Structure 1
Amino acid sequence: MSLAEKLGAIMQKPGQDPVAKDDVPWWMKYAGRGLGTVGSLIAIGLGLWNCVGIVLADVDVLWTLILISGMWQMLAGAFVIVIEAPCCCLFIDFVQNFSDMIEKRPYWNRAALYCSIALPAIFLCPGVSSIFGSGLIFTTGVIYGLMSLGRKATQEEMINNAERETNASVTQSSGMRSTLVDNAAPMSFTGTPATGFDSGV
């Protein structure tokens, strides 16, 4: 048993099918899950730092936006950690069912969700802590977006597809050219048309 298979056996959820259902490489799955877990914990910590910062400063409109940004970042981080690492939230009974429901969805759904919940905190407070914390959640969404694209074809498959498309386009273009030439009307000059004035009427 290889190291990747051992890690896969350790990291798989209870009741999960051990056979992979898609062509996504194992390292990309672990990268998405690991960055989602660690990145959401960092996002929660940095969001808390933004919220605590309001205690140390005067309250005005700017600090209110920073507070809202910090709370949003903490909620987004908690949401991602519920999906990516339900073992961190064992005290909440519906977390495992919710995580399993999200796990059954296509990867692009998760990518769109993570990217969309990461952006509001950055727009509300474009500070270093918001950009870094929410950026980790956004990067997790980008990884899931790449996973939704699927496996890259092998070099032989790409060469065969390119040759097949080239041959098809050559056959199609030569066939179309010959059809256009065969259907073309011959060019001839029939003379000037007769009008009523020339015939002497």
Structure 2
Amino acid sequence: MSMGDKVTNLWKRASDEGENRDEIPWHLKYGSRTLGTFAGVVNLFTGIWNGLGLIFLNTDCLFGGILQLLLGILLIALEAPFLCVFIDYMQKVSDVAENKPYWTRAIVYVGLSLVPMLLCFGPSTLIASALVFCTGLLYGLMSVGKKGSREDMGAIASPVDNVSQPMGGHHTTLMEDPDVWRPT
């Protein structure tokens, strides 16, 4: 694949061809991608910082730092593949992830954000994991979809015409209803 093809493929995203992805507001779509990219960069730096815990013989923070490094690389590869232009397979990995529904990305991000915090709890890990968690929450919101129109919501909330309503309204109880006490 030539360099020109790589640059052309950067602008053509798999999500642009989706049917229900057009309903997502642009600020939510690009905001989640931007937050994910920022979270990836922050996780790279905090992963290196926590990896230095080996100097103090803190192996839990070493494993947490390694996981944060891997999570940062994953976030950058999925959210900003243009930062990995010179790695041949990164665009393919990003396209595969783009073809998946948003809820899968939400579950992966929320789940993976909790693991480093459980291993090495500290302010840097908390901030980096919170950014990844918020990215997962944004993808979860995007998976819920667009809110219904006012007419649709009103139609759902209004009673159906062919169903009979109780004579006393919604305050009538079984004790006050004479039909309940009539012998059959």
TM-score, normalized by length of structure 2?
0.78
Decide which structure has the larger Cα Rg and report it. 1
Residue segments in structure 2 that go unaligned for 5+ positions in a row: 1-8, 167-178
Q: Which residue of 2 aligns with 1:91?
A: 86
1:30-45 superposed matches below 5 A: 30-45=30-45
Question: How many Å separate the matches in 2 of 1:111 and 1:172?
Answer: 44
In 2, Cα distance between equivalents of 1:118 and 1:21: 29
Q: Deviations over 1:150-169 (max 9, x none)?
A: 00112232112211xx226x
How far apart, CA to CA, are the structure 2 residues paired with 1:47 and 1:32?
A: 21
Structure 1 residues 99, 155: closer, same or farther in 2, change over 3 A? Answer: same
Classify 1:80/1:172 alpha carbon distance in 2 versus 1 (closer, same or farther; 3 Å). farther
RMSD between aligned residues: 2.6
Aligned match of 1:136: 131
Q: Equivalent residues in 2 for 1:137-156 (5 A)? A: 137-156=132-151
Distance 1:64 1:53, change over 3 A: closer
- Report how far residue 25 of structure 1 moved: 0.8
Provide the secondary structure at the position in 1 that maps to 2:160.
helix
Tell me which amino acid in the other structure corresponds to 1:107. Answer: Y
In 2, the alpha carbon distance for the partners of 1:88 and 1:109 equals: 23
Among the aligned pairs, what percent are the same residue? 35
Cα distance in structure 1, aligned partners of 2:17 and 2:86: 29
Q: Among 157, 160, 165, which residue is 1:167 paired with?
A: 160
CA contact (8 A) 1:40 1:81 kept: yes
Q: Structure 1 residues 95 and 19, CA, compared in 2 at 3 Å: closer, same or farther?
A: closer
| TM superposition shift of 1:146 | 0.6
- Give yes or no for contact 1:47–1:133 (8 Å, CA) kept in 2: no
Q: Partners in 2 of 1:72 and 1:19 — Cα distance?
A: 33
Local SS of the residue matching 1:171 = coil
Q: Which residue identity does 1:32 align to in structure 2?
A: S
Contact 1:47 1:129 in 2 (8 A): no
What is the rounded CA distance, in whole Å, between the counterparts of 1:101 and 1:34 in structure 2?
A: 19
How far did 1:19 drift? 6.6
Q: Does 1:107 align with 2:102?
A: yes
Q: Which runs of 5+ in 1 are unaligned?
A: 1-11, 175-180, 187-201
